[in-house]
């Protein structure tokens, strides 16, 4: 975990926010608490945060709206939703808006710290990882630049798309189990994360469409295989 990592905490429940802020600061984090979504978005534009903890139900701007704004500015910073909701649609909406994970209230501080550590460790590894470039069919994929090059055409990727494609490129022409992909890219095997992964698979297939030789195949009941 990076020393004195900066945390954006957006939570309108002052009592809960105090407990989270106090525990995170005791664990060595710098915490900026915002009591509504608009305040959180304003602070995000001023400070270089390492991770964002967003309550879903907040005044002015809800957590989903804030996440969408953050993703317009950064594809890299991890977003973890704090939610009292457990409905499938709410969780899927969180992933669609750019969230990386969710934790359902009530939660233990130990669980929150462990979830945060997973994402911070992954981000740190990404920053220090050597540049990876792959040839996929006629296309070139640059993991470091988050881009696919198809001749003069440049396709920009989100960080999550790049992470997923990077894993497939490391195992080209091999059958990968769904749970293996989820654990390697998202850090855990979860039904809602699996639904989110399917959305990203669809996006990658659209990127590959100009080159029919690239096939991101679904192996029914097992997983996927990138044929190139």
Indicate the range of 119-123, 149-153, 201-205 predicted with least confidence: 119-123
Indicate the range of 10-19, 36-45, 84-93, 184-193 predicted with least confidence: 84-93
Whole-angstrom Cα distance, residue 205 to residue 217?
Answer: 9
Indicate the range of 7-21, 75-89, 97-111 predicted with least confidence: 75-89
Contacts of 176 (CB under 8 A, 6+ apart): 167, 168, 223, 224, 225
Count, residues in the chain: 228
Mean pLDDT within 79-97: 79
**pLDDT (0 to 100) of residue 190:** 80
> What rounded mean pLDDT belongs to the chain?
88
Mean pLDDT within 57-65: 91
CB 190 within 8 A of CB 180: no
**CA dist list (Å): 92 to 42, 43, 96, 112, 208:** 25, 26, 6, 20, 25
| 128 has pLDDT over 70 | no
| 81 has pLDDT over 70 | yes
**CA dist list (Å): 187 to 52, 96, 116, 164:** 18, 18, 11, 12
Whole-angstrom Cα distance, residue 160 to residue 185?
Answer: 8
At residue 152 the predicted structure's pLDDT band, cuts being 50, 70 and 90, is very high
Mean pLDDT within 23-50: 94
Cβ neighbours around 39 below 10 Å, total: 19
pTM: 0.61
Mean pLDDT within 81-107: 80
Mean pLDDT within 176-202: 87
Indicate the range of 2-6, 96-100, 215-219 predicted with least confidence: 2-6
At residue 126 the predicted structure's pLDDT band, cuts being 50, 70 and 90, is low
The share of the chain scoring above pLDDT 90, in percent, equals 55
Closest CA relative to residue 114, chosen from 51, 179, 35: 51
């Amino acid at each position: 975990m990076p020393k004195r990592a900066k945390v954006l905490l957006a939570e309108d429940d002052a009592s809960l926010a105090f407990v989270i802020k106090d525990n995170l600061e005791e664990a060595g984090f710098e915490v900026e608490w915002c009591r509504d979504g608009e305040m959180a978005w304003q602070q995000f534009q001023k400070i270089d945060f390492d991770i964002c903890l967003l309550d879903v139900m907040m005044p002015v701007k809800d957590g989903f709206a804030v996440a969408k704004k953050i993703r317009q500015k950064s594809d890299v910073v991890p977003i973890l939703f704090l939610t009292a909701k457990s409905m499938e649609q709410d969780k899927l909406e969180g992933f669609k808006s750019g969230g990386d994970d969710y934790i359902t209230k009530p939660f233990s501080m130990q669980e929150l710290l462990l979830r945060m550590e997973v994402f911070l460790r992954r981000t740190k590894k990404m920053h220090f990882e050597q540049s990876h470039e792959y040839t996929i069919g006629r296309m070139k994929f640059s993991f470091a630049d988050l881009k696919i090059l198809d001749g003069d055409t440049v396709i920009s990727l989100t960080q999550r798309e790049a992470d997923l494609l990077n894993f497939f490129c490391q195992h080209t022409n091999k059958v990968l189990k769904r749970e293996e992909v989820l654990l390697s890219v998202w850090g855990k095997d979860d039904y809602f994360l699996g639904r989110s992964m399917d959305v990203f698979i669809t996006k990658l297939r659209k990127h590959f469409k100009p080159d029919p030789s690239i096939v991101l195949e679904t192996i029914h009941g097992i997983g996927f295989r990138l044929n190139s």
